[in-house]
A and B are shown apart, each in its own frame.
Chain A
Amino acid sequence: MLGRLISYAIGGVFVLTLLVAAFAPREAVVEDPNHALHKYPMKISWAQDGVFGTFDRAQLQRGFQVYKEVCAACHGLERIAFRNLVDIGFSEPEVKAIAKAYEVASIDDKTGEASTRPAVASDYFPSPYPNEVAARAANNNALPPDLSLITKARQGGKDYLHSLLVGYGQPPAGHEVPEGLYYNPYFANINIAMPPPLASAGQVTYAEGQPEPTIDQMSRDVSAFLDWAAEPKAETRKRTGVAVMIFLLILTGLSYLAYRRVWAELKSRGAH
Chain B
Amino acid sequence: MSFPWAKHYEPSHPFMKWVDSRLPLPRLVYNSIGAGYPVPKNINYWWNFGVLSGFALVVQIITGIVLAMHYSANTLVAFDSVEHIMRNVNGGWMMRYLHANGASFFFIVVYIHIFRGLYYGSYKPPREVVWMLGLVVFLLMMATAFMGYVLPWGQMSFWGATVITNLFSAIPVVGNTIVSWLLGGFAVDNAALNRFFSLHYLLPFIIAGVVILKIWSLHIPGSSNPTGIEVKGPEDTIPFHPYFTAKDGFGLCVYLLLFFGVAFFLPNALGHADNYIPANPLSTPSHIVPEWYFWPFYAILRAFTVDFLFIPAKLWGVLAMFSAILLLFFLPWLDRSPVRSSNYRPTMKWLFVLLIVDVIILGWCGGAPAEEPYVRISQIASAYYFLHFLVLMPLVSVIERPLPLPNSITEAVLKGKDRDGAPIGMAQATNATISATPAE
Distance A262 CA – B316 CA, assembled complex (angstroms) = 54
Contact between B247 and A259, CB atoms less than 8 A apart: yes
Which residues of chain B are within 8 angstroms of A261 by Cβ–Cβ distance?
Answer: 246
Closest to B394 in A: A4
Contact B386 A249 (CB under 8 A): no
Contact A7 B334 (CB under 8 A): yes
Complex: A248 Cα to B382 Cα, angstroms: 41
B424 at the interface (CB under 8 A from A): yes
Q: Can you list 10 A-B contacts (CB < 8 A)?
A: A4-B398, A18-B304, A21-B313, A157-B273, A245-B257, A256-B253, A258-B250, A270-B414, A270-B424, A270-B436
A108: chain B residues at CB < 8 Å are none
CB of B41 within 8 A of CB of A271, answer yes
Query: Which one of B122-130, B206-214, B259-267, B350-358 is at the A interface?
Result: B259-267
Number of interface residues of B (CB under 8 A): 78
Contact (Cβ within 8 A) B86 A233: yes
Once A153-B274, A255-B253, A270-B428 are accepted as A-B contacts, the answer to whether A21 and B246 lie under 8 Å apart by CB is no
Question: A134-192: which have CB < 8 Å to B?
Answer: 145, 148-149, 152-155, 157, 188
Closest to B416 in A: A272
**How many whole Å from B334's CB to the nearest CB in chain A?**
6
User: Which of A258, A263, A269, A272 sits near B428, CB closer than 8 Å?
Assistant: A269
In the complex the two chains form, what is the Cα distance from A29 to B373 in whole Å?
A: 11
| Contact A258 B243, beta carbon cutoff 8 Å | no
Q: Is the CB of A19 within 8 A of B268?
A: no
CB proximity to A under 8 Å, residues B231-257:
235, 238, 242-243, 246-247, 249-250, 252-254, 256-257
Using CB atoms and an 8 Å cutoff, list the residues of chain B in contact with chain A.
41-42, 83, 86-87, 93-94, 97, 235, 238, 242-243, 246-247, 249-250, 252-254, 256-257, 260-261, 263-265, 267-268, 273-274, 276-277, 286, 303-306, 308-309, 313, 316, 320, 323, 330, 333-334, 336, 371-372, 376, 379-380, 382-383, 386-387, 389-391, 394-395, 398, 410, 413-414, 417, 422-426, 428-431, 434-436
A101 at the interface (CB under 8 A from B): no
Selected contact of A255 from candidates B238, B250, B330, CB within 8 Å: B250
Across the interface, do B330 and A22 meet the contact criterion of CB distance under 8 Å? no
- Return chain B residues, CB-CB under 8 Å to A51: 265
Are A263 and B246 closer than 8 Å at their CB atoms? yes
A153 to B278 Cα, complex, angstroms:
10
Cα distance A252–B246 in the bound complex, in angstroms: 11
CB distance A231 to B86 under 8 Å?
A: yes
**B430 contact set on A, CB distance < 8 A:** 269
Known: A7-B391, A26-B372. Is A256-B304 also a contact (CB below 8 A)? Answer: no
Instruction: Output the least CB separation between B283 and chain A (Å).
Output: 9
Contact A271 to B253, CB < 8 A, known contacts A11-B389, A22-B379, A79-B83: no
Complex alpha-carbon distance, A257 and B302, angstroms: 49
Q: Is A251 part of the contact surface with B, judged by Cβ < 8 Å? A: yes
